[in-house]
Structure 1
Amino acid sequence: MLSWTHSEWLPILVVKRNYENNTITFSQRSVHSKDELWWIPLNFATEQSPNFEDTQVDIFMPPQAQYSVPLGDLNIHLSGRDWIIVNKQQTGFYLVHYDTDNLMAIARQLQANHSVIHPVNRAGLFRDLKPLIEHNEIEQVDVVFEMLKYLELEEDILTWNEVADSIDCLSQNLFGTSSQKHFNEFVRRLVTPIFRRVYVDQTANISLDRGNRILHMACLADLPECLEYTRHLAKEYIINKINLTTDSEYYGTYDTVLCMGVRYLSDRDFHRVIDVLKAADRGSEYYDDMIYALRCTQSHRHLLHYLEVLLGESSSHMILSEPEAMMYILYVFKSSLSTRPVIWQYIDRNYRLVCRSPNFVEDFNQIAEFVPRHQRPHVSRNIRS
C-alpha cells in the first residue's frame, strides 16, 4: 500500500476523541470517495504542548479505514477541555476534520490567544472546514461562529483568504432570511480592523492585490468605509477616467473595486454611468469594465434599466447577439442571489426576444432549477404563451 503522495486523490483524516477512555480514533477516506487507503504521516500539537515548530512525524496511520490508539501510546496528555491539532504547519497533504468538542476547544484557544496556534494551521483549520460548511455537514453550526469570533484580532492574510470562502458560503445560505442582517453585522465587526489596516491606514504589510478578498468580504457585508472607498475609486475611474493606480500589483483588484463601487449608486450617478457607457468605445477595456461592474448594482430598478439598455429589443445600444444575450442573462443570474428577481422580471418582459436564442431551452432550464415552487405556475404560463 503506497503513501497518499502516489495517489491522484487527497485523503480526509477524521479525528475523533473518546473523552471517557482517553483514546483517539483516526478515520480516513478519499476526497473523491474512492476506495483508497494510505499510510498517512501524523504529528500533533496540543494545548499542553503547543509546539508547532517540530514537524517530524510522530506516527504513521496505517492503510485502514479506522485506527484507534490510546493517548498514552502517543505520549499525549489531554484534559477533557484541551485541544489537539493534527498536521503541524500543514506538512502533510491531507484535510483534517475534528469532532465538535475539539473544535470548540480550538475556538476557545483562538479567542484567548490565537497566536499560540501557528498561522499556517490557523489558515488550515478554515480551509478544512470549508467543504463541511459548503455541504452542510457541520454537526453544530454554532462551532463555526465560535471559530470565527476571534478574527477581529487576526492579521495573517493567508488565514483571511481561507476564511473568505466560508463567510461567502454562510452569507449565501442566509440570504433573504431574518438572520442575514445580523450575520452582516457580525462580519463587519470581524473585518473592520483588518480592512482599516490594509486600505485606510495602510499599516499592514499586505499588498493591495493580496488583500482583495478582504475588500470583497467587507463590501459584501456593507461595511460603510469599504463602500465609500470603492464608490470613490469607481466614480473616479468611470466618470473622470482616472486609473485606480499605476501600481501593477493593483490591477487584479480592478474588478472587485468597480463591482463593489457601483452597488449603491444614487439615481443621478447611475444614469451618469449609463450615459458614459453609451458614449464609450465598445472595443475598449474601459467599456468592458463598465459592462462588468454595472451588473453588481443592488438596486432592482437600476439593474432592470441596465439590462434593458444592454439587451432590450428596443434599445439602440444593444450589443449582444441573441445567443450571447441569453448567456449573459444566465451569467448575471448565477453571479448574485440578489439579481434573480430582476432577471425573472426581465425575462417576463422580454420573453419573445430571449426565446430566439438557439440555446434558450438549455439556458432557461439552468435558471429554472432555482425557481421557487410558488413561482413555477407563473413561469409555466409564460412558457405556454
Structure 2
Amino acid sequence: MPLVPVLMKLREVALLYQDRVTTTSTKQNIGRIICHENVHMWFGNEVSPVQWTYTWLNEGFANFFENYGTDLVLPEWRMMDQYVLLLQNVLQSDAVLNVNPMTHPVYTPSQVIGTFNSVAYQKSGSVIRMMQHFLTPEVFRNGLILYLNRNKRTSVTPPLLYQALQEALDQSNHSINWPVATIMERWTTQGGFPVLTVRRSAPSANSLYVTQQRYLTDPSLVSNDRWQIPINWVLSTDPNFSNTMPQFWMPAVSSASAIDIPGLSQAEWYVINKQQTGYYRVNYDDENWQALANVLARNHNLIHLLNRAQIIDDAFNLARNGRLDYRYAFEVSRYLINETDYIAWGAANAAFNYLDVVLSGSPAYQLFQQYVLSITKPLYDRLGFNVTSEDEHVTAFHRNIILNLNCRYGNEDCVYTAQNMLEQVINNSISISPDTQNVVFCSGLRGGSAENFNFLWQRYLDSQDSSEQSILLNALGCTSNSTLRNFYLNQVIAEDSAVREQDRHTILVSVINSSPAGTEAALDFVIANFDQIQRSVQGLTGTTNILNALANRLTTAAHSTKVSQIVFYVCVMMM
C-alpha cells in the first residue's frame, strides 16, 4: 500500500526534543505521539470507520501500534512492557457500571467528542493486544494486511475486521473455540471487563474451578455480562511464561467452568493470565495468594516481570473493593524490597498512591509511610539523585517513583539533598537533570520558602522551552505557603495570566496532587470559580483533567458535600 503524504500539526511539547532540557517522559511521549499519528495514515485515513460509533477502529489500533511500533524501533524503551501499566491504569476507569463499551452509538457533536476517551484509546488498544496474543502475532498481522488492502479508501465496520482476521486464522495452523466475530462482539459491545475467581477443586485435585463476573469498583452492584475469555496458566513445577496462546476458553454462556490441569496437585503455586495479555483481573484462593507471596519473597525472578506487576495490581485492587483481605496484598508487596525493575514498581506506585489518599490523616498513615520507606530503601540508596549516561531509558521513571515516595514520606536524606540541590541551582553552582527537577523543585517548595517560589516562578516566565515550562508548572503547585498558593491558583483565571490557556489546567492539577492542604485549597477554588475556570482552560479537555485529578483525591463526606455544589452548578447551567 503506497504511503500518502500527510501534514501533522503538533504542540511544541509533543514534537521538539532538546538534550538536557527535555525529560525522558516527554521524549517518550514525543516518540509515541509521532508514531500514533503516522498509524492514522492506515487506521483512520486509508480505512475509516463508517461512523463515530466505531471510533475504536481508529484510536484503538493507533494506541496499540504507537507502543508496538516504537518498541520495534527503540526496544530499549520497553514500550510493550510499559503497556501493562497502561492496561492496569485503564482497568480503573473501566470498572464502573455506566462506562461506555468500545462500540456505542453517538448522535450529537458532543457525543462524538465524548468518544475520544480512555475506552477508545487505552482499553481498545489493550483488547487489541489481547487479540494479537490469542490469534498469534503472525495471524494478527496477516489479518490486518488483508483488512487494510481489501478495504482501502472505504468506510468500514467491525465485522469487516473480524472477517479478515478469521480468514487469516483459517489459513493458519491455529484454531480457537469460536469465530473471531463471536468473541469480539462481547468484548466490544459490553462495557467493563471480567474478574476470574479461581479455586483448586480440592487440594489433591488436578483441576481448577473458575467463575467469571463483571468487575465493578462498587461490589454491591451486579451485572449479568459475560465474555468468552482466553485463559492460560503457569505451574510452579514448570514456570515458563513465554507461550501466551490460550490453553482454555471460558464460555460466555456460563459463569463457572472446571479446568483440568495435569500436574496441578504437585504445584506449590500457579499463575493465571501469562504476561497479563488478557484484559481481566484474577482473584485466587487465600492459599494461592500466600503461596505467591512466599515465592516472590524467596525468588521473585521465578515469576515473569509482567506477572509480578499483575499480581501486585490485582491484589491491591481486589483488596480495595473488599474482594481480598489487605493482608495478602501487603504480603505480596513485601518482596518489593528486592525488586529492581521499574514495571513492577509502576504497579506498586499506583497502589501506594491510592492508599496515600485514603489513609492520610488516619492513625495508620504513619505506619504506611514507614513501611513504604523500608521497602524502598535499597532502591533509594542505589538510584539516588545522580543520573548517569548508563541509566536505562525507564530508570528515569523508576528513580522518580522512589525519590517522590522518599521525599514525600520524610526520608531526611532525600529532603535535605533535594533542598540543597535547589539552593545550588538558585546560586547557579549546578545544573540538574530534567528528570529529577520536579522532585527537587517540589521538595524545595514544601518548606514554604517565598524565595524558592519566586525564583522558580521567574524561571518559568523567562523560559522559552515548553518542556521546561511543563516541569516548572507541575512543581510550583507544591508550595505550602498559602499566600503563594492562592497567587498561583489565580493564574488559572486572571485576565493577565502569564500562563497559556492550554497549560492552565496544569496549575490546578499540580496543586491538587501536592498535598492534602493543596487538595483542599484547589477544591475550594474550583467551587468558587468553576464558571471562570471553564472559560479559562482549554475547553472540555482542561476541565476534565482538573475534575479527574480531584476525583482521585477526594475521600471524605465533607468532600462529597462540596462536590455536590459543582454538580448543582453544572445542572443549573444545563437547564
TM over 0.5: yes
Distance 1:276 1:206 in 2: 29
Which whole-Å deviations, capped at 9, do the CAs of 1:149-178 have from their partners, x for residues lacking one? 121111222211221111111221211111
Matched, 1:340 2:530: no
Q: How does 1:106-145 map to 2 (within 5 A)?
A: 106-133=292-319, 135-145=320-330
Contact 1:12 1:28 in 2 (8 A): yes
Matched, 1:304 2:483: yes
Partner of 2:416: 228
Which whole-Å deviations, capped at 9, do the CAs of 1:41-74 have from their partners, x for residues lacking one? 422213xx1422563768313314210246xx53
Tell me which amino acid in the other structure corresponds to 2:225.
Answer: D
TM-score by length of 1: 0.72
Matched, 1:277 2:490: no
Distance 2:281 2:500 in 1: 45
Contact 1:132 1:138 in 2 (8 A): yes
Range that drifts further, 137-146 or 302-311: 302-311
Which whole-Å deviations, capped at 9, do the CAs of 1:189-208 have from their partners, x for residues lacking one? 00110122122688996444
Range that drifts further, 177-186 or 322-331: 322-331
Distance 2:500 2:243 in 1: 58
Structure with bigger RCO (C-alpha 8 Å, 6+ apart): 2
Tell me which amino acid in the other structure corresponds to 2:328.
Answer: V
Distance 1:276 1:256 in 2: 11
Distance 1:227 1:90 in 2: 37
Matched, 1:209 2:392: no
Matched, 1:27 2:220: no
Matched, 1:172 2:362: no
Matched, 1:262 2:444: yes
Partner of 2:263: 75
Compute the displacement of 1:224 (Å): 2.7
Matched, 1:43 2:236: no
Range that drifts further, 280-289 or 143-152: 280-289
Partner of 1:184: 369
Compute the displacement of 1:324 (Å): 9.2
Compute the displacement of 1:183 (Å): 0.3
Compute the displacement of 1:188 (Å): 0.3
Which whole-Å deviations, capped at 9, do the CAs of 1:111-169 have from their partners, x for residues lacking one? 23323333332222123335435x52342111111111121111222211221111111
SS in 2 for 1:74: coil
Partner of 1:248: none
Matched, 1:15 2:195: no
Tell me which amino acid in the other structure corresponds to 1:304.
Answer: T
Distance 1:59 1:290 in 2: 50
Partner of 1:65: 255
Distance 1:95 1:375 in 2: 29
- Seen in structure 2, the aligned counterparts of structure 1 residues 45 and 278 have a Cα distance that, compared at 3 Å, is same
- The Cα RMSD (Å) is 4.5
Matched, 1:157 2:342: yes
Distance 1:226 1:119 in 2: 28
Partner of 1:196: 381
Which whole-Å deviations, capped at 9, do the CAs of 1:197-226 have from their partners, x for residues lacking one? 122688996444242323333333332333
Distance 2:179 2:517 in 1: 48
Tell me which amino acid in the other structure corresponds to 2:198.
Answer: V
Partner of 1:293: 475
- Seen in structure 2, the aligned counterparts of structure 1 residues 244 and 29 have a Cα distance that, compared at 3 Å, is same
- Seen in structure 2, the aligned counterparts of structure 1 residues 296 and 62 have a Cα distance that, compared at 3 Å, is same
Contact 1:238 1:290 in 2 (8 A): no
Compute the displacement of 1:293 (Å): 1.1
Unaligned 5+ runs, structure 2: 1-177, 217-222, 569-575
Distance 2:344 2:403 in 1: 15
SS in 1 for 2:210: strand
SS in 1 for 2:461: coil
Which whole-Å deviations, capped at 9, do the CAs of 1:241-279 have from their partners, x for residues lacking one? 85423xxxxx4x256324543353364xx4243256357
Which whole-Å deviations, capped at 9, do the CAs of 1:255-307 have from their partners, x for residues lacking one? 6324543353364xx4243256357635634565434312113x3xx143332
- Seen in structure 2, the aligned counterparts of structure 1 residues 131 and 241 have a Cα distance that, compared at 3 Å, is farther
SS in 2 for 1:225: helix
SS in 2 for 1:290: helix
- Seen in structure 2, the aligned counterparts of structure 1 residues 371 and 294 have a Cα distance that, compared at 3 Å, is same
TM-score by length of 2: 0.51
Contact 1:195 1:215 in 2 (8 A): yes
Range that drifts further, 103-112 or 302-311: 302-311
Compute the displacement of 1:180 (Å): 0.8
Compute the displacement of 1:319 (Å): 3.9
Tell me which amino acid in the other structure corresponds to 2:256.
Answer: Q
Percent identity between the two aligned chains: 20
Compute the displacement of 1:181 (Å): 0.8
Contact 1:84 1:102 in 2 (8 A): yes
Unaligned 5+ runs, structure 1: 246-250
Range that drifts further, 213-222 or 143-152: 213-222
Equivalenced residue count is: 355
Distance 1:218 1:141 in 2: 23
Distance 2:526 2:307 in 1: 47
- Seen in structure 2, the aligned counterparts of structure 1 residues 10 and 241 have a Cα distance that, compared at 3 Å, is farther
Contact 1:239 1:276 in 2 (8 A): no
